[in-house]
């Protein structure tokens, strides 16, 4: 399968703007996720949809991999990840999770962070991840709890929908029903994985002030910033002020939220 131009490539292009919006929080989730997986050193790892390298970098730092491969369809993200991870000997390739360019059974751990809901054919992506895992190896991933505990986005969409009924259809909580434990378990069991388990991972997302919270939404990259920048100036200012009024701003101006991810793991028989 060719990499989908106009698909991931169009929506995800700049690591520099991705990092302050989501990359830095994914890095925190990645640490907890790897603690949960508790894998021994010396394994072969694949990160499917590595983006700027949040999860792959955590694998390199914490898991002493023998081999570390990472793929993503976005040329901009792969370049960014290559700059950060090249020194660690990681193999970085442009590829789609629905068509992984690897032989069957080549990896001990096949992982992915915050990707599955963006893939149009999710059963196919999980089946591909299972295909390239070794017998006895593990497939594991995490996604945001868009409908609930991913507060920085939940609060954005709640404010957007209150002002603009058209935002309801774009709200990631509604658009990504797969991002819940039941559907994740169903996908993994449907791919023939054994011993499937799910859990929540909560990380703190603390902002110095409102501007640090708001500025990443002005990048236009990813669904919520894309919606934000599709608004006219007046509507965007109304959204900004509604958010400012609804967020729990502390006396020192700080805003302390939590981001919840749902993680799932399963073993290839």
Ligand X SMILES: C[S@@+](CC[C@H](N)C(=O)[O-])C[C@H]1O[C@@H](n2cnc3c(N)ncnc32)[C@H](O)[C@@H]1O
Per-residue binder mask for ligand X (CB under 6 A), 24-53, x = binder: --x---------------------xxxxx-
| Residue among 28, 39, 46, 54 that touches ligand X (CB under 6 A) | 54
Alpha helices in 192-232 (DSSP H): 210-214, 223-230
CA angle (167 as vertex; 163, 170 as ends), nearest 5: 160
Distance CA 20, CA 1 (A): 32
Question: Nearer to ligand X by C-beta: 10 or 189?
Answer: 10
- Please report whether residue 207 would count as binding ligand X according to CB under 6 A: no
Cα 40 to its chain centre, rounded Å, is 24
Task: Determine if 15 is a binding residue for ligand X (CB under 6 A).
Answer: no
Q: Is residue 205 close enough to count as binding ligand X by CB under 6 A?
A: no
For ligand X, which residue has the nearest CB? 51
Query: Of 198, 195, 186, which is closest to residue 267 (Cα–Cα)?
Result: 195
97 binds ligand X (CB under 6 A): yes
Place of tokens 């954005």: 156
Query: 46 φ, ψ to 5°?
Result: -130, 130
Closest to ligand X by CB, 78 or 167: 78
Number of residues that bind ligand X (CB under 6 A): 24
With contact defined as beta carbons under 8 Å apart, do 143 and 176 qualify? Answer: yes
Residue 187 in tokens: 């996908």
In this chain, which stretch among 60-68, 96-104, 226-234, 235-243 interacts with ligand X, using CB under 6 A? 96-104
Q: Is 153 in the site for ligand X (CB under 6 A)?
A: no
Q: Which of 28, 65, 111, 113 binds ligand X (CB under 6 A)?
A: 113
Among 206, 269, 260, which residue's Cα sits nearest to residue 33? Answer: 260
Token look-up 């709200």 returns: 171
Contact window for ligand X (CB under 6 A) among 66-74, 152-160, 181-189, 229-237 = 66-74
Which spans of this chain sit near ligand X (rule: CB under 6 A)?
A: 8, 12, 22-23, 26, 48-52, 54-55, 72-74, 77, 96-98, 113-115, 118-119
């Amino acid at each position: 399968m060719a990499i989908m131009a106009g698909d991931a490539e169009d929506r995800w292009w700049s690591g520099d703007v991705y990092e302050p919006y989501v990359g830095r929080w994914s890095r925190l989730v990645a640490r907890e996720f790897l603690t949960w997986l508790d894998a021994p050193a010396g394994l072969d790892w694949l990160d499917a949809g590595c983006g700027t390298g949040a999860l792959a970098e955590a694998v390199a730092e914490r898991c002493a991999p023998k081999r570390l491969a990472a793929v993503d369809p976005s040329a901009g993200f792969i370049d960014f990840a290559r700059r950060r991870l090249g020194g660690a000997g990681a193999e970085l390739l442009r590829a789609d999770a629905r068509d992984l360019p690897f032989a069957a059974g080549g990896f001990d751990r096949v992982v992915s962070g915050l990707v599955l809901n963006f893939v149009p054919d999710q059963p196919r992506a999980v089946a591909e991840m299972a295909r390239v895992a070794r017998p006895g190896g593990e497939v594991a991933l995490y996604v945001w709890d868009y409908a609930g505990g991913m507060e920085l986005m939940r609060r954005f969409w709640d404010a957007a929908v209150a002002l603009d009924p058209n935002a309801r259809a774009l709200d990631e909580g509604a658009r990504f029903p797969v991002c819940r434990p039941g559907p994740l378990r169903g996908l993994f069991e449907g791919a023939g994985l054994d011993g499937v388990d799910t859990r929540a991972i909560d990380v703190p997302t603390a902002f110095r002030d409102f501007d640090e919270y708001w500025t990443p939404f002005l990048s236009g990259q990813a669904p919520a910033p894309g919606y934000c920048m599709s608004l006219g100036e007046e509507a965007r200012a109304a959204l900004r002020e509604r958010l400012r009024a609804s967020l729990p701003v502390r006396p020192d101006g700080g805003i302390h939220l939590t981001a919840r991810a749902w993680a799932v793991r399963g073993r290839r028989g």
